[in-house]
Amino acid sequence: MAETGIGAAVRRKEDQRFLTGAGNYVDDIARPGQTYACFVRSPHAHARIRSVDTKKAAAAAGVVAVFTGKDVADAKLGSLFCGWMVTDRHGQPMKTTPHPVLAADTVRYVGDHVAVVIGESREAAAAGAELVSVDYQALPAVVSSVAALKSGATQVHKDVPGNLVYDWVLGDQAATETAFKRAAHVTKIDLVNNRLIPNAIEPRASVGDYDRGTDQLTLYTTSQNPHVHRLALSAFIQIAPETKIRVVAPDIGGGFGSKIFIYAEECVVLWAAKKIGRPVKWTADRVEAFQSDAHGRDHVTHAELAMDKDGKFLGFKVSTIANLGAYLSTFSSSVPTYLYGTLLAGQYATPAIFCEVKGVLTHTAPVDAYRGAGRPEATYVVERIVEEAARQLKIDPAELRRRNFIAPSAFPYQTPVALQYDSGNYVGALDKALKVADYAGFARRKAESTKRGKLRGVGFSSYIEACGIAPSQVVGSLGAGVGLYEAAEVRFNATGGVTVFTGSHSHGQGHETTFAQLVGDRLGVPIENIEVVHGDTGRIPFGMGTYGSRSLAVGGSAIDKAMDKIIAKGRKIVAHLMEASEGDIEFKKGMYTVAGTDKKMSLGEVAFAAYVPHKLPTDQIEPGLDETAFYDPKNFTFPFGTHICEVEVDPETGRTSIAKFTAIDDFGHIVNPMIVEGQVHGGIGQGIGQALLEACVYDEKTGQLLTGSMMDYALPRADDVPSYTVGLTTTPCPHNPLGVKGCGEAGAIAAPAAVMNAITDAIGAPLEMPATPARVWAALQKRAAKAA
Amino acid sequence: MKVSMTVNGKPASAEVEARTLLVEYLREHLRLTGTHVGCDTTQCGACTVHINGDAVKSCTIFAVQCEGANVLTIEGLAKDGKLHPMQESFKENHGLQCGFCTPGMVMAGIDIRRRHKNPTEETVRHELEGNICRCTGYHNIVKAILTAKM
C-alpha cells in the first residue's frame, strides 16, 4: 500500500484525460439546439442609462432573443448579493447595495452588464450585441479607494454615503496605544497591496439548459462550489426551487478564488434558457474576464510597530483602506476584515494589536477573494514592517523574528486578534529555511554579485495563514450567511470498488488522486478501484466547495468521518457473521480480525454480504454499505513557514531577477507530496507575479481599465520566475482526524513580502509592488540623487 | 469556403466561413475540444497545435490558410493508447494541475525539444514565453520538457 498510500507521490489519476485532450471543460459542452449569449457591457465607468434600444438587434439575422435590465426586473429576478454581513465599529451592519443581473438605470464600472443577445451562433450573438443601442449619460467616476473616501467624492451608490461600506475594527485600541507609549522604537510603513486580476487560464463559462418535461434546469458553470451556486440561484436570484436546479462544475481550468462567486452571466444564462426553451451558452473572452471577473487585493495601508529596546514587539497598529469595487461581490466583505485583520499577529507574540479597515466602493469591478484572500495582504504588512524594523534596529532579520516568535510551547495560543492558533513551530521552519537557503553564504554571494556590478538582496517572509475555513458557529457569529462544513459520501460497491462523492471541488488540485489515496490507505482498496466524484449537485451531497485551502482539512476529514461509519457498520456485519462481540473486532487496512482468533474477513467480503444480505438480520442491520458524513471543523488550521528570496538587480536597467527562492512550509501531515509541492510552486509563481509584474490599473480620470488584456496586464511567464527550492517541516494539526492543514495558498501568501524585502534590501530604497524595472530604476535614481 | 486538411492523420474537410479560425474549426466543426482558448490576443498559447510539424497558435490562423496542411492536435499524440514521451513526462513530473494550458504546453514542449536537442533550463524558459500557465509556477513544466525521453 505504501506506493499509493498516504505519503506517496502518486502520479495523478486525472492526468490521463487532461494529457490526451479528453477533459470536459464547460466550453467543451455542446447541448442539442444550443444558442450562444453575448453580453452588452458598459463602456463607461459610471453612467446613467437613458434608454436601451434593442429593435435592430432583435431583428438581425441569427438573433434569437435580446434581454435587458427591464426584462429581468419584470421577471422579478433577485439581486446578486454579499453573503457575509460585517458589523462596523459602532455595531451597525455594513451598507449593502442592490446588484441586478442586468443593469437597469445605472452602470458602475467598465464591463458592467447591460443586456444580453442570444444568437444561433457565437458570431450572430456578437453581431447582434453590436446593434443594441444604449443611450448613456456619462457621469464622473472614482476608481481609487482613497479618492472615493474624500468628501465630495462621486457617490457610487446612493445607499452608501461617502462610499463607505463599513469602518471595521479589531483588537484592543487602548492597550495598543499604551504599548506604543512605552516603546523604545517605533517603525512605520506605508504600503499599497496592488490590485490583481486572477486570470485563471480557462475563462468563465456557463451553459444553461432547461428540460420542459421535468421542469428541471441544469447549469453547467465554472464554479468552485456548485452547491453554493445552486443555493444562490434558488434562494437569492429566485430562478427556481433548489429541487429544480442542478449545477454541474465539470473540469474547471483553475479558479484561485475567482470562480467561487455568483456572477450575473451565469444567472442570466440559466434564466434565459428556460425563457427561450433552448440551451444557452456563454463563454467569456479574455477581455471580459479582465473586466468582469472579481479582482483581488487593492489595499492601502499605514502600519506602525512598537518595540522595546531589544526589538521585542510591544504593539502593532494597522489602518487599511480596502477597495471593494462597484458592488459587493459574494464574499467580498469578509476578505479585508475576518480574513485579514485576524491574521495580523503573524507568527509573533505581539501582546497588543489594533486594526481598522475601511471598506470602500469605487467605479471598478467588484473585488473579492483571490488566492490567499486577506492573508497575503496581512502577511505583506506584517513581514514588510518586521523586515523594515530589523533594518532600522540593525538586527539581523532572522534574529528579530526569532526573538518575537510565539514559542512552540505556547500553543494553543490566543492572539489579540480573535484567532486561537492550534499548533506551530515557527523557529523550526525558520532554521530549516536558513539552512536550505544557505543564508550563511549570502554575504559571499552578494560580494560576487557586486563584482559583476549587480545589486544583491535577501528577503524573508515568515507567514501564518488560517485555512480549513471554518467552524460554522464561529463564522456564523461573525456574519457569514452559510455554514462552512463539508460533506462526503463513501459508497462501497458490492463488487469491491469504492465511489467517493465529495462536496469539495477540484479545479487543478488533484482531488481524484489525493482523496483516492486517503480512502485506499484506510479501506485497503487499490486506488484504481476508487472513483472520486465531485462538482455535480445531482450526484454529490450538499457541499461547500473548495477555497481557502480547505479541501483536505475539511473535505478530507468528511471523507474520513464517512469511512468511520463504513468501518463501524462493517464491524456489526462481521460480528454477526462470525458470531463475535463487536468489541473484539479489529479493523486495519481493509481487514477485520477477531481478537485472539485467526478469523478474518475483508471489507470487500463484508460489502458483498451487505448488498446480498442473505445471512443478515435486516431488521437490525440495514443492507448496503454506503455512508454520508458532514464534517464541521473545530477550528481553522494554521499552516506556516518561512520563505527566503534572493534577488539580483541590474542597476543599469532596474531589472530584477530572482536568484534563489526557498520555501519551507508546515502543512501538517502530507498525503501526496508531489501535489503539495506543485501547489506551493504555483502559489509562489502567483506571489512573484504580484511582486514583480502584475497590476490592475484603472485610469483615474475616465475609469477605463488600462490593463484589460494579456498584452497590458503582465502575467508571469516561464522566464520571469526561477525554479524553486521547497521543503517541509511537520507539525500536525491537532483537531482534525488527518492532522492536515492545507497548502493551496501558502506560496501566494508568503512570496510577495519575501521578494519585496529582497529588492528593498538590494536597492536600499522603499518601493511598491509591482517592482517593475521602471520603478526599481526610478527608486535607484532617487536614492542616488538624495545621496548626492 | 471549402477547406481540406489532414487532422491527426485523417482527412478532414468542411465548408467554413473565411473568418473561421483554425481553433474554431478544430473545436466546433471537428469537436476536437482538447485544444483550448484562453485569451484573445495570441498570448496564452493554450491553443497551440502542430501545423506541418511546427507549433502554431491555432487562434491566430484561419482554417482556410491550412488548406492541404497536416495538423496535429493533443488528441493525435498518443499512439495505440500509449502516451507520447512528452505527455508521459508531464504526468511523471506533475507538469499540469487544472489541465487547461496543458495541451498547448505539451505541443509547444515537443516543438522546443525538436528544435533544441539538449536545451538548457534557460532555453526552455525563454522558448515557453508564448505559453501561460497560472497553476504550476512553471517549475514542473520546465522539468517535464527538459527530461522528456524524446
Let me know: does A296 contact A65? Beta carbons within 8 Å.
no
**What is the domain count for chain A?**
3
Query: Which of A589, A609, A631 is the last residue before a domain boundary?
Result: A631
Residue A161 belongs to a domain: no
Residue A150: how many other CB atoms lie within 10 Å: 12
Residue A766: how many other CB atoms lie within 10 Å: 15
Assess whether A674 and A644 both reside in one domain: yes
CB–CB of B136 and A677 under 8 A?
Answer: no
d(CA B102, CA B135): 10
Assess whether A616 and A683 both reside in one domain: no
Per-residue pLDDT at B9 exceeds 50: yes
d(CA A109, CA A96): 17
Residues 90-119 of B with CB under 8 A from A: 90-92, 94, 96-103, 106
Q: Would you state the cell numbers that stand for residue B137, as one nine-digit string?
A: 509556477
CB–CB of A25 and B35 under 8 A?
Answer: no
| C-alpha separations of A110 from A138, A236, A364 in Å | 12, 25, 7
Candidate from A18, A287, A681 with C-beta closest to B139: A681
State pLDDT tens for residues A608-644.
Answer: 999 999 999 999 999 999 999 999 999 999 999 999 9
CB–CB of A25 and B100 under 8 A?
Answer: yes
Q: Which of A564, A570, A562, A489 is nearest to A531 (CA)?
A: A489
Assess whether A603 and A701 both reside in one domain: no
For residue B67, the distance in angstroms to the closest alpha carbon of chain A comes to 23
CB–CB of B134 and A718 under 8 A?
Answer: no
Average pLDDT of span A287-292 = 98
Cβ contacts below 8 Å, chain A against chain B, sum to 180
Residue A190 belongs to a domain: no
Q: Would you state the cell numbers that stand for residue A692, as one nine-digit string?
A: 514583480
Residue A7 belongs to a domain: no
CB–CB of A20 and B132 under 8 A?
Answer: no
State pLDDT tens for residues A170-223.
Answer: 999 999 999 999 999 999 999 999 999 999 999 999 999 999 999 999 999 999
Residue A640 belongs to a domain: yes
Determine how β-strand A626-631 pairs with β-strand A486-492: antiparallel
State pLDDT tens for residues A290-343.
Answer: 999 999 999 999 999 999 999 999 999 999 999 999 999 999 999 999 999 999
Candidate from A17, A28, A723 with C-beta closest to B142: A723
Residue A241 belongs to a domain: yes
H-helix or E-strand containing A588?
strand A585-588
Q: Would you state the cell numbers that stand for residue A331, as one nine-digit string?
A: 464574499
Q: Which letter does DSSP use for residue A747 in this model?
A: H
Query: Which of A610, A631, A652 is the last residue before a domain boundary?
Result: A631
Residue A712: how many other CB atoms lie within 10 Å: 14
Residues of chain A in contact with residue B32, where contact means CB-CB under 8 angstroms, are 21
Residue A36 sits in a domain of what CATH number? Answer: 3.90.1170.50
d(CA A649, CA A450): 10
Domains and CATH numbers, chain B: 2-75 (3.10.20.30), 85-147 (1.10.150.120)
d(CA A382, CA A481): 29
Assess whether A778 and A695 both reside in one domain: yes
Cα Rg of chain B, angstroms: 15
Residue A153 belongs to a domain: no
For residue B92, the distance in angstroms to the closest alpha carbon of chain A comes to 6
Longest pairwise C-alpha distance within chain B: 44
Residues 21-80 of B with CB under 8 A from A: 27, 31-41, 43-44, 46, 73-75, 77-78
Per-residue pLDDT at A652 exceeds 50: yes
Which residue's C-alpha cell is 482556410?
A: B64
Assess whether A510 and A615 both reside in one domain: yes
CB–CB of A718 and B35 under 8 A?
Answer: no
For residue A119, the distance in angstroms to the closest alpha carbon of chain B comes to 16
Task: Name the closest residue on chain A to residue B122, using Cα atoms.
Answer: A719
- Note if the bond before A183 is cis, omega within 30 degrees: no
Assess whether A540 and A595 both reside in one domain: yes
Residues of chain B in contact with residue A121, where contact means CB-CB under 8 angstroms, are none
Most B-contacting residue of A199, A259, A290, A719 (CB-CB within 10 A), to test interface: A719
d(CA A381, CA A378): 5
CB–CB of B97 and A254 under 8 A?
Answer: yes
Residues of chain A in contact with residue B124, where contact means CB-CB under 8 angstroms, are 718
Let me know: does A469 contact A343? Beta carbons within 8 Å.
no
Assess whether A622 and A655 both reside in one domain: no
Residue A537 sits in a domain of what CATH number? Answer: 3.30.365.10
Residue A17 belongs to a domain: no
Assess whether A442 and A523 both reside in one domain: no
> Can you give the pLDDT at residue A2?
54
Which residue's C-alpha cell is 464547460?
A: A26
CB–CB of B142 and A718 under 8 A?
Answer: yes
Which residue's C-alpha cell is 490526451?
A: A20
The rounded mean pLDDT for chain A is 97
Residues of chain B in contact with residue A749, where contact means CB-CB under 8 angstroms, are none
State pLDDT tens for residues A740-771.
Answer: 999 999 999 999 999 999 999 999 999 999 99
State pLDDT tens for residues B83-134.
Answer: 999 999 999 999 999 999 999 999 999 999 999 999 999 999 999 999 999 9
Q: Would you state the cell numbers that stand for residue A251, as one nine-digit string?
A: 473540469
- Bridge partners for A302 per DSSP: A190, A319
Task: Name the closest residue on chain B to residue A121, using Cα atoms.
Answer: B28
CB–CB of A201 and B134 under 8 A?
Answer: yes
CB–CB of B128 and A683 under 8 A?
Answer: no
- A168 Cβ neighbours under 8 A, 6+ residues apart: A86, A87, A88, A89, A94, A337, A341, A356, A357, A358, A359
CB–CB of A285 and B77 under 8 A?
Answer: no
Please tell me chain B's helix, strand, coil percentages from 3-state DSSP, rounded to the nearest 5: 35, 20, 45
Per-residue pLDDT at A258 exceeds 70: yes
Q: Would you state the cell numbers that stand for residue A529, as one nine-digit string?
A: 478501484
CB–CB of A202 and B102 under 8 A?
Answer: no
Map residue A171 onto helix, strand or coil.
Answer: strand
What is the rounded end-to-end Cα distance, in angstroms, of chain B?
A: 39
Assess whether A134 and A270 both reside in one domain: yes
Candidate from B40, B91, B142 with C-beta closest to A19: B91
Assess whether A73 and A93 both reside in one domain: yes
pLDDT interval class at A1 (50, 70, 90)? very low
Determine how β-strand A600-602 pairs with β-strand A591-594: antiparallel
For residue B109, the distance in angstroms to the closest alpha carbon of chain A comes to 12
CB–CB of A718 and B128 under 8 A?
Answer: yes
Phi, psi for residue A2 in degrees, rounded to 5: -55, -35
Residue A381 belongs to a domain: yes
Let me know: does A296 contact A195? Beta carbons within 8 Å.
yes
Please tell me chain A's helix, strand, coil percentages from 3-state DSSP, rounded to the nearest 5: 35, 25, 40
Q: Where are the alpha helices (DSSP H) in A468-556?
A: 472-477, 511-523
Residue type, A34: Q
Q: Which letter does DSSP use for residue B62 in this model?
A: B
User: Three-class SS string for B121-145?
Assistant: HHHHHHHHHHCCCCCCCCHHHHHHH
Residue A391: how many other CB atoms lie within 10 Å: 15
Most A-contacting residue of B8, B135, B143 (CB-CB within 10 A), to test interface: B135
For residue A285, the distance in angstroms to the closest alpha carbon of chain B comes to 6
> Can you give the pLDDT at residue A787?
87
| C-alpha separations of B11 from A21, A157, A704, B4, B71 in Å | 19, 59, 47, 7, 10
Q: Quick one: what percent of chain B has pLDDT higher than 70?
A: 100
Task: Name the closest residue on chain A to residue B33, using Cα atoms.
Answer: A28
Let me know: does A261 contact A156? Beta carbons within 8 Å.
no
Residue numbers of the domain that contains A242: 31-139+202-253+259-292
- Bridge partners for A649 per DSSP: A455, A656
Q: Would you state the cell numbers that stand for residue B119, as one nine-digit string?
A: 536545451
Q: Would you state the cell numbers that stand for residue A770, as one nine-digit string?
A: 509591482
For residue A596, the distance in angstroms to the closest alpha carbon of chain B comes to 45
Task: Name the closest residue on chain B to residue A745, using Cα atoms.
Answer: B135
pLDDT interval class at A164 (50, 70, 90)? very high
Q: Would you state the cell numbers that stand for residue A69, as one nine-digit string?
A: 435590465
Query: Which of A269, A292, A315 is the last residue before a domain boundary?
Result: A292
Q: Where are the alpha helices (DSSP H) in A216-263?
A: 226-231
CB–CB of B125 and A718 under 8 A?
Answer: yes
Residue type, A123: E
Assess whether A732 and A778 both reside in one domain: yes
Assess whether A683 and A597 both reside in one domain: no
pLDDT interval class at A496 (50, 70, 90)? confident
State pLDDT tens for residues A540-575.
Answer: 999 999 999 999 999 999 999 999 999 999 999 999
